[in-house]
């Protein structure tokens, strides 16, 4: 099994910790960032296999962050995450190529499913 490089963009520390504990356990490398500046820096400096991005952050709209990420790395599979019902944001994210929008709270099996469906790898 290939070690994945996974980017997690969320202002909530608990979400980053969840990915580190669950996906890190399987040997995957998790990079957690909490704002636009660090997100753009990360995608410029590292090659990620998949990214999980929050739709709503205090200082940034996740769809706007997705637009900027797409400009840097258009091929990166991006999964949006939201704790809110945000059909319009999901639609906008889908138009920008987001592969899915996970509703928070989600389970490890949800992440495993979306990774398998998106990049074809079991985790």
The pLDDT value recorded for residue 88 is 64
* Residue 40 to residue 23: CA distance in whole angstroms: 22
pLDDT tens digits for 42-92?
999 999 999 999 988 877 888 888 999 999 999 999 999 987 766 766 677
Determine, yes or no, domain membership for 53: yes
Mean pLDDT of the chain: 89
What CATH number should be reported for the domain holding residue 105? 3.40.50.2300
Question: Above 90 in pLDDT, residue 14?
Answer: yes
Domain span holding position 37:
5-118
Residues paired with residue 79 on neighbouring β-strands, in sequence order:
52, 100
The pLDDT value recorded for residue 95 is 66
Question: Above 70 in pLDDT, residue 33?
Answer: yes
How much is the pTM? 0.91
The pLDDT value recorded for residue 86 is 61
Question: Above 70 in pLDDT, residue 102?
Answer: yes
Instruction: For the chain, report the end-to-end CA distance as a whole number of angstroms.
Output: 8
Q: Give the residue, 93 or 14, on which the prediction is more confident.
A: 14
The total number of structural domains that make up the chain:
1
Determine, yes or no, domain membership for 123: no
Determine, yes or no, domain membership for 60: yes
> 63 — phi, psi (to 5°)?
-65, -40
Among candidate residues 40, 58, 52, the one with its CA nearest the CA of residue 101:
52
Please work out, in degrees rounded to the nearest 5, the angle formed at the alpha carbon of residue 113 by the alpha carbons of 109 and 116: 135
């Amino acid at each position: 099994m290939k070690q994945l490089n996974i980017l997690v963009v969320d202002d909530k520390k608990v979400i980053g910790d969840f990915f580190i504990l669950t996906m890190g356990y399987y040997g995957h490398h998790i990079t957690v960032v909490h704002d636009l500046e660090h997100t753009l820096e990360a995608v410029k400096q590292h090659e990620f296999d998949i990214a999980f991005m929050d739709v709503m952050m205090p200082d940034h709209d996740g769809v706007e962050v997705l637009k900027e990420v797409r400009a840097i790395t258009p091929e990166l599979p991006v999964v949006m995450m939201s704790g809110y019902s945000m059909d319009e944001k999901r639609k906008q994210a889908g138009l920008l190529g987001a592969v899915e929008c996970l509703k928070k709270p989600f389970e490890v099996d949800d992440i495993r499913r979306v990774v398998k469906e998106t990049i074809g790898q079991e985790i």
